[in-house]
A and B are shown apart, each in its own frame.
Chain A
């Protein structure tokens, strides 16, 4: 596709449930980012991939959060044992290089009930 695609668009999870969020970046983009955006806030960095290598995961809030990009294209953000505070929009972005503008997907809105 022409842009970054994320699925699902909306996810409602019961507290304690595991979820997996998918990101299809723009073809050929080396860099991939995951962000978490709470209501009324700007996106907060979670993790960064360069191809299949996860070079920075300093923003992941806990060890319940795990991200992978095994073949250097599609990425999955997994949240285990979801908590209410995990409710947010999760944004994926990709860029051609680390130092060029990142293009965002529409996000996945996760609601933990």
Chain B
């Protein structure tokens, strides 16, 4: 049973435009949410996080939005750069465990 879902396996965006990656979850007990970025042959790299008590967290070009009523999380990257091309995983935490989505492959076209 997939508790964290990323329904878009891939996304292509022009350089300079906004990239929006989406994530849905089912467990209302999740209290901490994260986005990870992964390049081929490397482990996931932490990008940004948000606590369930907030609805927005911003770090430079990256902003994460949390809509608890909709159980929806999104990552906005603006402006998108070619170096942002990677697989992005959202993750949600409750207790000792982090639950990951299946990832969205982002391609930023120069």
Contacts and interface: CB of A to CB of B under 8 A. Distances in A.
B32 to A, nearest CB: 6
B85 to A, nearest CB: 18
Contact of A45 (B32, B42, B97, B103): B97
Contacts of B42: 106-107
Give chain A's interface residue range (CB within 8 Å of chain B).
20 to 34
Nearest to B103: A42
Dominant SS among interface residues on chain B: strand
A12 B46 CA distance: 29
Contact of A101 (B34, B96, B97, B99): B34
Given A42-B103, A43-B89, A105 B43 contact: yes
A99 to B, nearest CB: 6
B96 A106 contact: no
Given A40-B102, A42-B89, A55 B44 contact: no
A98 interface: yes
Contact of A41 (B43, B45, B96, B102): B102
Contacts of B91: 42
B39 to A, nearest CB: 10
Given A33-B98, A99-B93, A106-B43, 10 more contacts: A6-B43, A31-B96, A35-B100, A42-B102, A50-B96, A91-B43, A93-B98, A99-B32, A104-B36, A104-B44
Q: 3 tightest A-B contacts by CB?
A: A42-B100, A104-B43, A48-B96
16 contacts: A6-B43, A42-B6, A42-B101, A43-B100, A48-B96, A48-B97, A56-B95, A56-B96, A99-B31, A99-B93, A101-B46, A102-B46, A103-B46, A104-B46, A106-B42, A106-B43
